[in-house]
């Protein structure tokens, strides 16, 4: 059975040992596949509920620029957009199928959201966001050191990261990295 947990942290930098990176790649590569986005959109109620709980901890004021890292089919992305009527929301996912489904759904429910095909470990943004939100995504990304460096680069100084990670043990690993990063 998979566990689920969430965390919030301010990041300064990130570190990862090469040994840990190799183990994570070996564990994760076997599970990454293209999603059946239409089916996921229909059955992703639990992931949406987790995302809503994490979103509730973000405490948005309504004007922020928010990146939804791993936006999937866009349902929680649309809820983020509703929280920032004077802000901007960008949804990023590495799955073209997820983005196609998200695009169709968001055109009707949150037409101002922009979608980007990309990898969380190589975000194409620099100091572009006040907050990064992520629900049930980090455990799919192979290189957590690159992920945290990428998030730090995408955030404005003082920006916030709010994320939820599924899978037993994943949270402890990520919290340890975040704590190490914050102490630099």
CB 67 within 8 A of CB 90: yes
Residue 176, CA distances (Å) to 7, 19, 150, 172, 173 in order: 11, 15, 18, 6, 5
Residue 147 has pLDDT above 70, yes or no: yes
Residue 166 has pLDDT above 70, yes or no: no
DSSP assignment string, 54-86: HHHTS---S--EEEEET-TTSHHHHHHHHH-TT
Per-residue model confidence (pLDDT) at position 128: 97
- Among positive and negative, which fits the CA dihedral 79, 81, 84, 86? negative
Domain count, the chain: 1
Strand pairing report for 4-9 and 155-166: antiparallel
Q: Which residue has the higher pLDDT, 174 or 111?
A: 111
> Among 2-11, 44-53, 115-124, whose mean pLDDT is lowest?
2-11
Position 113 in a domain:
yes
Position 76 in a domain:
yes
Position 36 in a domain:
no
Position 41 in a domain:
no
Provide the token pair at 150. 């990428």
Position 106 in a domain:
yes
Q: What is the CATH number of the domain that holds 101?
A: 3.40.50.150
Mean of per-residue pLDDT scores for the chain: 77
Per-residue model confidence (pLDDT) at position 41: 52
For 47-104, the pLDDT digits (tens) are 767 777 888 999 999 999 999 999 988 999 999 999 999 999 999 999 898 899 999 9
The rounded Cα 135 to chain-centroid distance in angstroms is 5
- The boundaries of the domain holding residue 76 are 47-182
Per-residue model confidence (pLDDT) at position 9: 34
Residue 31, CA distances (Å) to 27, 72, 95, 120 in order: 8, 16, 14, 17
For 6-41, the pLDDT digits (tens) are 333 333 333 333 443 323 333 333 334 566 766 655
Position 118 in a domain:
yes
The band of 168, judged by pLDDT with boundaries at 50, 70 and 90, is: low
Per-residue model confidence (pLDDT) at position 18: 41
Contacts for 70 with CB less than 8 Å, ≥ 6 apart: 92, 93, 120, 134, 135, 136, 137, 138, 140
Residue 9, CA distances (Å) to 2, 50, 95, 108, 147 in order: 23, 18, 26, 33, 14
Contacts for 98 with CB less than 8 Å, ≥ 6 apart: 35, 37, 40, 71, 72, 73
Position 96 in a domain:
yes
E strand or H helix at 5? strand 4-9
Position 56 in a domain:
yes
């Amino acid at each position: 059975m998979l566990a689920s947990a969430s965390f919030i942290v301010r990041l300064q930098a990130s570190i990862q040992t090469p040994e840990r990176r190799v183990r994570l790649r070996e564990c994760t590569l076997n599970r990454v596949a293209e999603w059946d986005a239409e089916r996921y959109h229909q059955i992703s109620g639990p992931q949406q509920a987790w995302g809503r709980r994490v979103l509730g901890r973000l405490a948005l004021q309504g004007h922020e620029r928010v990146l939804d890292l791993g936006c999937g089919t866009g349902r929680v992305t649309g809820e983020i957009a509703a929280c920032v009527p004077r802000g901007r929301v960008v949804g990023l996912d590495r799955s073209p199928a997820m983005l196609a489904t998200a695009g169709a759904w968001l055109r009707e429910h949150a037409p101002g959201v922009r979608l980007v095909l990309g990898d969380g470990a190589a975000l194409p943004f620099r100091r572009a966001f006040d907050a990064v939100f992520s629900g049930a995504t980090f455990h799919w990304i192979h290189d957590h050191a690159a992920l945290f460096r990428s998030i730090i680069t995408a955030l404005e100084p003082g920006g916030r990261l709010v994320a939820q990670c599924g899978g037993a043990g994943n949270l402890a690993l990520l919290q340890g990295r975040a704590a190490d990063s914050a102490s630099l």
